[in-house]
Amino acid sequence: MALAEFDLIRRYFASHALQHPFNQLGIGDDCALMTVPSGYQLAVTTDTMVENVHFFADAEPDLLGHKLLAVNLSDLAAMGAEPFAVTLALTLPKIDEHWLQAFSTGFMQLARQYNVDLIGGDTTSGPLTLSVQALGVVPQGTALLRSTAKVGDRIYVTGQVGNAGLGLKVKQGYACDKPESLLRSFNQPQPRVAEGLALRGVAHACIDISDGLAADLSHILEKSGVGAVLQWDRLPMSTAVIDYVERSADWRLPLIAGDDYELCFTVSPHIEAQALQAFYCIGEIVAEPGLRIERAGRLEILETQGFEHFS
Ligand code: ADP
Ligand code: MG
């Protein structure tokens, strides 16, 4: 990339002093340097967003910057990891200063909110593709896995399901009162980092809801060799989602729509209620494999196909 273009990247991404004590050297050399204190494990994750696959071509760049970072921090949250650094790989069709300014503002605002430093990255030209690698730490042996749910566990979510999915429908033309908060859920998810940290030593298994509650909970079920029964009446839903379900009869939306980025986790039934009072109990882990939901007096089997890129 030519020097002038590189100066632009530097202007938008390298002008922030490092904040987190683990980070010693950030943008500007061949590698970044950081020190993880002994007794901790490093948690590493990557997520990529591709134009016309993960976001619309007319997406607002500041919202893209926010969401790109949020989905990566959400993966750390789901492990109970504390984020401290990210790298950013940008593939851009052209240098657009307005776009870069807005994108970096959305990205860096969320980074500062979580005390995360941007410590490096890569910039290339090509079809718009945005990729982040996020680094976090967990005290040795305390990470929240998918594989450790136990029969008899209660299943919880940290917040409402279906708002982001309905926000996508609003973008596609669904009309309702006050669509703004639905669009905010879709465009600007809040990673449940504090909740993930609070669940260390409490939850048996945990995952973040990116592909939909049914698909993501099914990952816990498969990895743990168990099944689950959910209670429809206990699903936390906004009035907008409840209205949508009543009007459309599409009651599966809050179960299969993605992008909510709440955490779904399981806990022993003996855990004190106080540790869980901010969360919503939606069902129970059972021995029989598969995912079922009790709704209107019937037990329905839930298909758990998430989004498949190559099908
Ligand atoms: P190299 O060719 O040695 O990989 P680059 O020219 O790609 O170096 O990058 C120079 C410096 O700028 C590195 O520290 C790299 O991490 C950083 N960098 C490049 N692109 C980005 C970006 N989009 N966001 C953050 N840092 C970046
Ligand atoms: Mg490079």
Of 6, 15, 25, 27, the one to substitute when testing ligand 1's pocket (max ligand atoms within 8 A of C-beta) is: 27
- Within 8 A by CB and 6+ apart from 242, the residues are none
Q: Indicate the pTM of the whole model.
A: 0.95
From residue 103, give the alpha-carbon distance in Å to each of 6, 85, 107, 272.
16, 18, 6, 43
What pLDDT is stored for residue 3 in this prediction?
62
31 touches ligand 1 (CB under 6 Å): no
Closest ligand by atom to 108 CA: 1
What pLDDT is stored for residue 15 in this prediction?
82
118 touches ligand 1 (CB under 6 Å): yes
Q: Kindly report the length of the chain.
A: 311
93 touches ligand 1 (CB under 6 Å): no
Half-sphere CA count of 25, side-chain side, radius 13 A: 6
91 touches ligand 1 (CB under 6 Å): no
State the CB neighbour count (10 A cutoff) for residue 310. Answer: 3
Expressed in angstroms and rounded, the spacing between residue 42 Cα and the centre of ligand 1 is: 22
29 touches ligand 1 (CB under 6 Å): yes
For residue 25, the Cα-to-chain-centroid distance in whole angstroms is 27
What pLDDT is stored for residue 222 in this prediction?
97
122 touches ligand 1 (CB under 6 Å): yes
Ligand 1 atom closest to 118 (CA): 25
State the CB neighbour count (10 A cutoff) for residue 80. Answer: 27
Contact 80, 138 (CB under 8 A): yes
Ligand 1 atom closest to 88 (CA): 24
Contact 156, 202 (CB under 8 A): no
Of 15, 72, 123, the one to substitute when testing ligand 1's pocket (max ligand atoms within 8 A of C-beta) is: 123
d(CA 143, CA 286): 23
What residues are neighbours of ligand 2 (ion), with CB under 5 Å? 122
- Residue labelled with tokens 């870069």: 100
What is the SS3 assignment for 18-63?
CCCCCEEECECECCCEECCCCCEEEEEEEEEEEECCCECCCCCHHH
Task: Single out the residue of 265, 245, 249 nearest to residue 149, CA to CA.
Answer: 265
Ligand 1 atom closest to 28 (CA): 14
Ligand 1 atom closest to 123 (CA): 20
Half-sphere CA count of 179, side-chain side, radius 13 A: 14
For residue 257, the Cα-to-chain-centroid distance in whole angstroms is 13
Rounded mean pLDDT for each run of 10 residues along the chain, 311 residues in total: 75 90 96 97 98 94 98 98 98 94 97 97 95 98 98 98 98 94 97 98 97 98 98 98 96 96 97 91 98 96 72 61
State the CB neighbour count (10 A cutoff) for residue 11. Answer: 13
